[in-house]
Amino acid sequence: MMEAVLRGAEVVKRAKESEKGPFLIIPMKVSGKSWGCLYSEGRVDNEDFSPDIVLFVKMLCVQAALVLNALTLQEEFEKQQQILTPEFPEDEISIIGESPAIKRVIEQIKQVAPTDATVLILGETGVGKELVARTIHAKKYSEKWAFYSG
């Protein structure tokens, strides 16, 4: 952080020493976080920057900071999602069993997973409803959608 402050001080010093006319330095900040600054040195007509231009550039800097902030948040979200979302091989069904009833459930999962159908899973506590739901979800939506169970 101190390096950025020193570099910023160097930019201001250089701008003050410049003979290219007026200069404009506007920070790109959002939520207390600085993303850099926009620096413009000199104008063709050597006139000062009008208040309208300064206001426009300030608004532009806010928008740029918002975009940079959103991109960073998106990147952090995607990293967390990768950490928290288990990977399922496409053809793997994580239900174990050889009984005719389990084989029938696995066939039904294979049948319904590729469709857009809404699935109601019924059964007593502890029979694996959530495992069936997670398997259908993993085969249907993979990493695009989060799985929520209640």
- 47 HSE (CA, 13 A, CB side): 6
Question: Distance between CA atoms of 87 and 103, rounded to whole angstroms?
Answer: 23
Distance between first and last Cα of the chain:
44
Residue 26 structure tokens: 């506007």
147 against 46, higher pLDDT: 46
- Tell me the pTM: 0.49
pLDDT at 122 over 50: yes
Please state the length of the chain: 150
| Beta carbons within 8 Å of 64's beta carbon, 6+ residues apart | 28, 35, 38
- Residue 149: pLDDT band (50, 70, 90) is low
Question: Distance between CA atoms of 49 and 78, rounded to whole angstroms?
Answer: 41
For the chain, helix, strand, coil in percent to 5 are 55, 10, 35
| Beta carbons within 8 Å of 110's beta carbon, 6+ residues apart | 93, 139
pLDDT at position 2 is 45
Residue 30 structure tokens: 């959002």
pLDDT tens digits along 98-121: 899 888 988 888 888 888 888 888
DSSP state of 132: H
Amino acid in the structure at residue 146: A
Share of residues in the chain with pLDDT > 70 (%): 75
pLDDT tens digits along 47-93: 788 899 889 999 999 999 999 999 999 999 989 888 876 655 555 66
Residue 61 structure tokens: 């800097």
pLDDT at position 37 is 85
Share of residues in the chain with pLDDT > 90 (%): 17
Domain residue limits, the chain: 2-84, 100-144
